[in-house]
Amino acid sequence: MSERLGRRQFIELGFKAPIALSLPSFLTEGEIDEALPLNERVAEIFSLVEPLSFDSKGNLVVERESKEEPDVRVFRRVETIPTQYSMTETRRVNKVELLVVHYDGNDRFWDVSGTKVERHAESTVWLLDRNGFSTHWCVDGFPIEELKEGFVSGYGVLQTQPGSGDSKLPLIGAHVKMGVEDESKVDTLQLFGKLGIQSRLQSLYERKVGSFNFHTVGFEQVGTDFDLGFPSKNQPDNQQIANALSLSIAVMKQHNLTVWDVVGHHEVQELKSDPGDYYMATLRFLLGVATLKGELPESLVFAGYEEAPDKEAYFRKVYEYLSERKKGWLWHWKDLVGYDEFMKSLSASVLQKEGESKWR
């Protein structure tokens, strides 16, 4: 039996869980929906995406249509629960150059008195506090709810840093702790260089910055070992992926980050495993689709791909990068995102566009 437990009830239970925190067409924008097929999973993810943005003080806000006036957008802050670290932190980042993606290292479900309970973002804050870490947001597998009294199951996206007063310079988090690296794992920088991928990650290492925390923001997600047993085990559900996608789009637009400036913790520090290569490939694929849907500027995703057409080149690069890091289960990943059919349709659409251009 699985249940979604109210977040306040969840915290009040006060039980202890083992800590395993792993931190440390003719295509133009907006015309994708009819031009390209999205498989059932990807289509559902996009049906759950919420428009997010930032207010002048750097707080994350959700945008919705007014129920009374459908043409009017209503903005409200997402709920905020600071970590113990962020309640006393007053320093701001020097500049946001990366968005680092994590998972919190605990099972998505906990057993509570014989009942299987889905965790939410407040439990991630609790885990962060127990380990002395802090990120800017926590993501769970619940919808981004309207504020309401009484029983609420989860948060969707929870802000864990108070607004700094500057929308471009948030308070620092403590989520990237540099240490001994695992030399047996893939070197991200070498692979970026081999594939011609440009990211601010390269610049940060070249400049030998003392702390990545002064140059990054990050978010934690409920769950652990996303790559372990892929694709049948430990994968976040579609709602959680949609929440992470909504947040990533907002942060990229706010800080002018490219898609390759959105990196997994394991790509920054090879010793880490969160959130994993399959997960990052999925997120980058979805960010490309979001760009075709007009939800991100093309300059943040498709720029720098000199091969024509650049849109196809980007999606090929996402797969090429994944295939360099993972030697198995690639067809499972393709199947999960509908990669082959998507690419066939994208190629056909571009060819049709090129044919139309010649006759104008």
- Structural domains in the chain, CATH included, are 2-358 (3.40.80.10)
Q: What angle do CA 59, 65, 68 make, to 5 degrees?
A: 125
The answer to whether residue 354 scores a pLDDT higher than 50 is no
Give the whole-angstrom CA distance, residue 70 versus residue 62. 16
Phi, psi torsion values for 232, nearest 5 degrees: -90, -5
Q: Tell me the sheet residues that pair with 207.
A: none
Task: Flag whether pLDDT at 293 surpasses 80.
Answer: yes
Considering the chain, what percentage of its residues have pLDDT values greater than 90? 66
Q: State whether residue 125 is helix, strand or coil.
A: helix
Q: Report pLDDT digits (tens) over 249-288.
A: 999 999 999 999 999 999 998 788 899 999 999 999 999 9
328-337 — which CB contacts under 8 Å span 24+ positions?
Answer: 329/230, 329/231, 329/278, 332/230, 332/231, 333/230, 333/231, 333/278, 333/281, 333/282, 336/41, 336/231, 336/282, 337/39, 337/41, 337/42, 337/282, 337/285, 337/286
Q: Alpha-carbon distance 65 to 348, whole Å?
A: 35
Band of pLDDT at residue 65, cut at 50, 70 and 90: confident
Q: What is the pLDDT of residues 127-167, one digit of tens each?
A: 999 999 999 999 999 999 866 655 567 999 999 999 999 99
pLDDT of residue 29: 40
pLDDT-based confidence at 96, cuts 50/70/90?
Answer: very high
For the chain, the maximum distance between any two Cα atoms, rounded to a whole number of angstroms, is 70
What is the reported pTM?
Answer: 0.88
Which SS3 state, helix, strand or coil, does residue 154 take?
coil
Range of lowest pLDDT (9-18, 68-77, 303-312): 9-18
Q: Are 239 and 141 in contact (CB under 8 A)?
A: yes
Which residues does 299 contact at the CB level (< 8 Å), separation at least 6? none
Q: Is residue 180 pLDDT above 80, yes or no? A: no
Quote the pLDDT of residue 34: 54
Residue type, 239: Q
DSSP state of 204: H
Cα Rg of the chain (Å, integer): 20
Residue scoring higher pLDDT (267 or 74): 267
pLDDT category of residue 66 using cuts at 50, 70 and 90:
confident
Q: What is the pLDDT of residue 81?
A: 96
Per the CB < 8 A criterion, the answer to whether 167 and 250 are in contact is no
Q: In the structure encoding, which two tokens stand for residue 170, read together?
A: 């948030």
